[in-house]
């Protein structure tokens, strides 16, 4: 009788079950302790960039020096294109007095090697690009990954959002032109394409529901 | 990996073959020196010398007697130089030569034992390592040359901006490109010579060119480019040079006639796939390297079994 | 078990004579994937050291309770737990580094080096021996990783630990920070280690 109990699978696995319980509890503890820190890291990564992306570097620094901060509120914008629903996370940035400072949209798309994720800053009436930051990319080191460099991204600054941007070889010479990173035309085109698509998708939705939508979100909170 | 039967294991035969290849390369060398002047001369000297020195050193390191007499290092050096852009700085040629000899050849046990074409191993290494000095921009930054040879290469111009140049210029080779690839005419003359001398097999170049013609022709008709697309892909890039001088390397291509047809077909398909669907405008190098990798497999499939074994 | 190596022997063996990468060819996935710079390489080495030490100690503590046919399950469970802890800690306190390392920290779970040490040493020997074995192996792993990372970072970017070492005229060998560079560097260094080994053994025969 005793040996038959000892031979059942459950009895043999008592150590595994015990360890699983102990380890599971430990992990739950670690997660409760560290989970909020990790979440905060993820949010901060985006939030830190928003003042610079909407106001420009100089003014953003000035505001921090004065101890002012923007009020930032995230919302989701839903787009349905050809029957496919897409979502954009958009951050509305307000000054303390409630006037709008600008928008930052999070967007992603296919690059040369892998997905490129970026933040796009637009001014208060969504007519001008005020900033671009690449959050995540895996483009070729030394070539494609030069799209993260500031002097390349700065080509997007002050470009009007009324029509799409075009990638040109060499130096950009006029408005609506972005000079490709030499040797990395595809990465350059990918980033520019994501920017164009994002603007086309969400521009009309940014301004339209200004107060009522936001109030709804606030109420829901 | 058995050494190919083309190379009877006497240094004599190898040397004869290599001399044939060198003679076959002459028209291409002349064309590139005429077109690129000092750039071509500089690149040829650097690569040949670097290949000879690295072969000498690496063979010494393995404790074998020197094998410079078979001329294979000279051939590798010249093919390597002809596949580089003229504007590439000196260290690109030197590093490519050292990689070609060390990692491409000697590490496998020397001539006849290597899996990959040494020159292409060296070129692939510097192509990825110094993309900016080797890629499309390398050709556009060449200044001080004739107008015809300072712009984008025909294939990248076609791929990235859709502009085409005259077919006759493509054929005679008054265009920009790697040193040895510009003139389809010179490659054909030299290539026919080594084929007629039976130093290179005729099946491989023919099947590569037929496959590329087929795929490019269909694309051409489908997009109604009236031949422009087809001839750019036939004469524009390194196709002729690669088909006659690189793919036919007896060590890294299949042994049997049937295997050679497969090899050429696969190379042609890969060339067109890379040209049409990848970020690179040219795909001859990677196509040949990939097919080198499957050569042992092709050999196994196509070598007839002796009687009684099956 | 008189023939089992002592704690000190275990420690010394792990560093060079039985180096996990160069001698046993274990744990090659992180070796190839995160050795393009010293910072990620050392972070990886520290994470592996932490997991290896904890897994070895725990396994050694419960070694008398292990059933032969269930031991792999127990090893995996133990390793996975500590890997998750390491992963969470990195995400919380070294957020950028954890993004750089991406999936390779969670992938320590399948690093065969750790399960090998659990099986070979920790499940048979005392806690002290298991711990010193873990330290020795982790040191050896760290050494191997940083030797590869040194070559790759210096050739690939002209920098060491992100500090410029070579003049800015140095043409970056981009291939060295890409995956092919990992294979080439590992292959050449392995060859070098074997070559040194052969020369050494020849000398000792001659003496």
* Weakest-pLDDT range from A11-25, A55-69, A99-113, B129-143: B129-143
The answer to whether the CB atoms of B161 and A169 lie below 8 A apart is yes
Collapsed DSSP state (helix, strand, coil) of residue B246: helix
Note the pLDDT of residue B231. Answer: 84
User: What pLDDT band is residue A140 in, cutting at 50, 70 and 90?
Assistant: confident
Q: Identify the residue whose tokens are 């030797």.
A: C147
Distance, CA of C207 to CA of C201 (rounded, Å): 10
Minimal C-alpha gap between C98 and chain A (Å): 11
How far, CA to CA in Å, does A96 sit from each of A54, A100, A206, B53? 15, 9, 20, 72
Question: Residues A106, A109, A112, CA angle at the centre, nearest 5°?
Answer: 135
User: What pLDDT band is residue B135 in, cutting at 50, 70 and 90?
Assistant: low
Report the residue of chain C nearest A17, measured CA to CA: C74
User: What pLDDT band is residue A114 in, cutting at 50, 70 and 90?
Assistant: confident
User: What pLDDT band is residue A218 in, cutting at 50, 70 and 90?
Assistant: very low
The architecture (CATH level 2) of B11-299 comes to Orthogonal Bundle (1.10)
Please report how many Cα atoms fall inside a 13 Å half-sphere around the Cα of residue B54, on the Cβ side.
Answer: 30
Q: Which residues of C touch A27 (CB under 8 A)?
A: 81, 84-85
Minimal C-alpha gap between B227 and chain A (Å): 27
Of B89, B91, B131, Cβ closest to residue C174: B131
Note the pLDDT of residue B163. Answer: 67
Distance, CA of B249 to CA of B116 (rounded, Å): 10
How far, CA to CA in Å, does B247 sit from each of A58, B37, B127, B243, B288? 58, 27, 18, 5, 6
Domain boundaries, chain A: 2-43, 71-220
CB count, 10 Å around CB of A85? 8
Query: What are the start-end ranges of the H helices in chain A?
Result: 2-7, 9-12, 14-47, 50-55, 57-65, 150-153, 185-207, 211-220
Give pLDDT < 50 ranges for chain C: 1-2
Distance, CA of B292 to CA of C5 (rounded, Å): 48
Mean residue pLDDT of chain A comes to 80
User: What pLDDT band is residue A221 in, cutting at 50, 70 and 90?
Assistant: very low
Of A19, A23, A34, Cβ closest to residue C89: A34
Query: Which of B299 and B225 is assigned the larger pLDDT?
Result: B299
The predicted complex's ipTM stands at 0.80
* Weakest-pLDDT range from A72-86, B26-40, B236-250, C105-119: A72-86
Task: Kindly state the greatest CA–CA separation across chain A.
Answer: 90
Residue of C91, C123, C156 to mutate when probing chain A, most A C-beta within 10 A:
C91
Question: Each residue of C104-117: pLDDT tens digit?
Answer: 888 888 888 899 88
Region B140-164: mean pLDDT is 58
Of A19, A38, A41, Cβ closest to residue C78: A19
Q: Are A122 and A202 in contact (CB under 8 A)?
A: no
Confidence check: pLDDT of B77 > 80? yes
Note the pLDDT of residue A5. Answer: 65
Of A142, A169, A185, Cβ closest to residue B132: A142
Q: Which residues of B touch C180 (CB under 8 A)?
A: 128
Note the pLDDT of residue B155. Answer: 73
- The rounded Cα C95 to chain-centroid distance in angstroms is 22
Query: Which of A172 and A84 is assigned the larger pLDDT?
Result: A84
Burial B76-87 (b: 16+ CB within 10 A, else e): bbbbbbbbbbbb
Question: Each residue of B166-183: pLDDT tens digit?
Answer: 777 778 777 777 888 888
* Weakest-pLDDT range from A119-123, A178-182, B66-70: B66-70
Q: Which residues of B touch A186 (CB under 8 A)?
A: 279
Q: Identify the residue whose tokens are 């192509």.
A: B127
Find, among C199, C177, C204, C207, the residue nearest to C32 by Cα. C177
Q: Are B292 and B284 in contact (CB under 8 A)?
A: no
Region B148-157: mean pLDDT is 63
The answer to whether the CB atoms of B125 and C175 lie below 8 A apart is yes
Chains that touch B (3 or more CB pairs under 8 A): A, C
Burial B103-121 (b: 16+ CB within 10 A, else e): bbbbbbebbbebbbbbbbb
Confidence check: pLDDT of A213 > 60? no
Confidence check: pLDDT of B299 > 70? yes
Note the pLDDT of residue B144. Answer: 42
Q: Which residues of A touch B (CB under 8 A)?
A: 112, 140, 142-143, 169, 182-183, 185-186
How far, CA to CA in Å, does B249 sit from each of A24, B115, B237, B255? 60, 11, 19, 11
Question: Each residue of B1-53: pLDDT tens digit?
Answer: 444 444 444 556 788 888 889 999 999 999 888 888 788 888 999 999 999 99
Question: Each residue of B188-223: pLDDT tens digit?
Answer: 999 999 999 888 889 999 999 999 999 999 988 888
Collapsed DSSP state (helix, strand, coil) of residue B111: coil
Highest mean pLDDT among A70-79, B129-138, C16-25: C16-25
Note the pLDDT of residue B308. Answer: 62
Query: Which of C163 and B95 is assigned the larger pLDDT?
Result: B95
Question: Residues C22, C26, C32, CA angle at the centre, nearest 5°?
Answer: 80
Region B66-91: mean pLDDT is 85
Residue C166 DSSP symbol: S
Region B48-64: mean pLDDT is 87
Domain boundaries, chain B: 11-299
Token pair listed for A105: 């949209």
Task: Tally helices (H) and strands (E) across chain C.
Answer: 9, 2
Distance, CA of B29 to CA of B44 (rounded, Å): 9
Confidence check: pLDDT of B226 > 80? no
Region B48-76: mean pLDDT is 84
Region B264-270: mean pLDDT is 94
Find, among A211, A11, A202, A203, the residue nearest to A98 by Cα. A211
Report the residue of chain C nearest B125, measured CA to CA: C175
The answer to whether the CB atoms of A38 and C74 lie below 8 A apart is no
Report the residue of chain A nearest B135, measured CA to CA: A183
Q: Which residues of C touch B (CB under 8 A)?
A: 171, 173-176, 178, 180, 184
Q: Which residues contact B77 (CB under 8 A, 6 or more apart)?
A: B44, B47, B48, B49, B50, B51, B52, B97
User: What pLDDT band is residue A4 in, cutting at 50, 70 and 90?
Assistant: low
The answer to whether the CB atoms of B132 and A186 lie below 8 A apart is no
Note the pLDDT of residue B1. Answer: 41
Highest mean pLDDT among A10-24, B67-81, C52-66: C52-66
Q: Are C88 and C108 in contact (CB under 8 A)?
A: no
Collapsed DSSP state (helix, strand, coil) of residue A109: strand
Minimal C-alpha gap between C28 and chain B (Å): 21
Domain boundaries, chain C: 7-206
Query: Which of B230 and A8 is assigned the larger pLDDT?
Result: B230
Distance, CA of B16 to CA of B7 (rounded, Å): 10
Q: Which residues of A touch B157 (CB under 8 A)?
A: none
User: What pLDDT band is residue B141 in, cutting at 50, 70 and 90?
Assistant: very low
Please report how many Cα atoms fall inside a 13 Å half-sphere around the Cα of residue C47, on the Cβ side.
Answer: 35
% of chain B surpassing 70 pLDDT? 86
Q: Which residues of B touch C166 (CB under 8 A)?
A: none
Stretch 42-71 of chain A: residues touching chain C, C-beta under 8 Å = 42, 45
Distance, CA of A14 to CA of B95 (rounded, Å): 61
Residue A160 DSSP symbol: B
């Amino acid at each position: 009788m005793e040996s038959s109990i000892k031979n059942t699978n459950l009895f043999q696995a008592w150590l595994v079950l015990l360890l699983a319980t102990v380890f599971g509890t430990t992990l739950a503890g670690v997660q409760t302790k560290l989970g909020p820190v990790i979440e905060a890291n993820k949010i901060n990564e985006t939030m830190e960039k928003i003042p610079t992306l909407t106001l420009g570097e100089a003014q953003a620094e000035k505001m921090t020096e004065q101890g002012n901060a923007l009020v930032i509120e995230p919302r989701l914008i839903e787009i349905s294109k050809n029957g496919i629903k897409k979502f954009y996370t958009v951050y509305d940035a307000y000054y303390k007095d409630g006037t709008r400072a600008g928008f930052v949209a999070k967007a992603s798309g296919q690059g040369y090697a892998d997905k490129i994720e970026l933040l796009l800053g637009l001014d208060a009436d969504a007519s001008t690009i005020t900033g671009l930051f690449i959050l995540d990319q895996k483009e070729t080191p030394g070539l494609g990954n030069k799209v993260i460099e500031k002097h390349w991204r700065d080509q997007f600054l002050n470009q009007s959002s009324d029509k799409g941007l075009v990638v040109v070889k060499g130096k950009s010479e006029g408005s609506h032109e972005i000079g490709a990173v030499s040797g990395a035309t595809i990465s350059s085109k990918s980033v520019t394409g994501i920017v164009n698509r994002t603007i086309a998708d969400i521009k009309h939705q940014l301004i339209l529901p200004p107060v009522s939508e936001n109030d709804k979100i606030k109420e829901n909170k | 990996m058995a050494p190919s039967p083309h190379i009877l294991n006497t240094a004599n035969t190898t040397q004869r073959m290599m001399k044939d290849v060198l003679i076959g390369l002459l028209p291409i060398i002349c064309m590139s020196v005429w077109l690129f002047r000092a750039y071509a001369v500089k690149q040829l000297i650097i690569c040949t010398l670097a290949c000879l020195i690295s072969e000498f050193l690496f063979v010494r390191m393995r404790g074998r007697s020197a094998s410079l007499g078979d001329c294979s290092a000279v051939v590798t050096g010249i093919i390597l130089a002809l596949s580089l852009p003229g504007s590439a700085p000196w260290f690109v040629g030197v590093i490519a030569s050292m990689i070609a000899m060390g990692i491409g050849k000697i590490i496998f046990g020397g001539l006849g034992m290597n899996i990959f074409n040494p020159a292409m191993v060296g070129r692939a290494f510097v192509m990825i390592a110094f993309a900016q000095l080797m890629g499309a921009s390398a050709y556009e930054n060449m200044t001080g040359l004739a107008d015809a040879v300072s712009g984008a290469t025909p294939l990248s111009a076609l791929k990235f901006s859709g502009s085409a140049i005259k077919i006759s210029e493509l054929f005679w080779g008054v265009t920009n490109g790697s040193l040895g690839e510009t003139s389809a005419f010179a490659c054909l003359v030299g290539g026919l010579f080594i084929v007629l001398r039976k130093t290179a097999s005729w099946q491989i170049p023919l099947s590569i060119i037929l496959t590329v013609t087929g795929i490019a022709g269909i694309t051409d008709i489908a997009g109604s480019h009236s031949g422009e697309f087809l001839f750019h892909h036939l004469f524009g890039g390194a196709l002729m040079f690669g088909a006659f001088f690189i793919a036919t390397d007896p060590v890294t291509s299949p042994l049997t006639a049937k295997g050679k047809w497969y090899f050429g077909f696969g190379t042609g398909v890969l060339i067109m796939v890379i040209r049409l669907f990848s970020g690179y405008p040219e795909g001859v190098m990677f196509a040949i390297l990939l097919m080198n990798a499957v050569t042992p497999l092709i050999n196994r499939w196509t070598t007839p079994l002796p009687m009684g074994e099956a | 078990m008189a023939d089992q190596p002592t704690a000190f022997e275990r420690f010394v063996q792990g560093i060079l004579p039985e180096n996990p990468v160069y001698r046993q060819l274990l744990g090659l996935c992180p070796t190839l994937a995160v050795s393009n710079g010293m910072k990620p390489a050392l972070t990886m080495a520290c994470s592996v050291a932490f997991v290896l030490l904890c897994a070895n100690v725990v396994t050694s503590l419960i070694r008398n309770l292990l059933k032969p046919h269930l031991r792999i399950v127990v090893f995996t469970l133990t390793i996975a737990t500590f890997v998750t802890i390491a992963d969470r800690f990195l995400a919380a306190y070294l957020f950028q580094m954890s993004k750089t390392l991406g999936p390779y920290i969670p992938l320590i779970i399948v690093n065969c080096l750790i399960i090998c040490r659990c099986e070979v040493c920790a499940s048979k020997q005392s806690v002290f021996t298991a711990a010193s074995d873990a330290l020795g192996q982790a040191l050896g792993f760290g050494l191997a990783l940083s030797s590869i990372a040194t070559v790759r970072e210096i050739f690939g970017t002209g920098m060491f630990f992100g500090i410029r070492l070579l003049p800015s005229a140095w043409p970056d060998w981009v291939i060295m920070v890409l995956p092919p560079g990992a294979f080439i560097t590992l292959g050449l260094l392995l060859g070098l280690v074997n070559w040194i080994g052969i020369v050494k053994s020849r000398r000792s025969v001659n003496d």
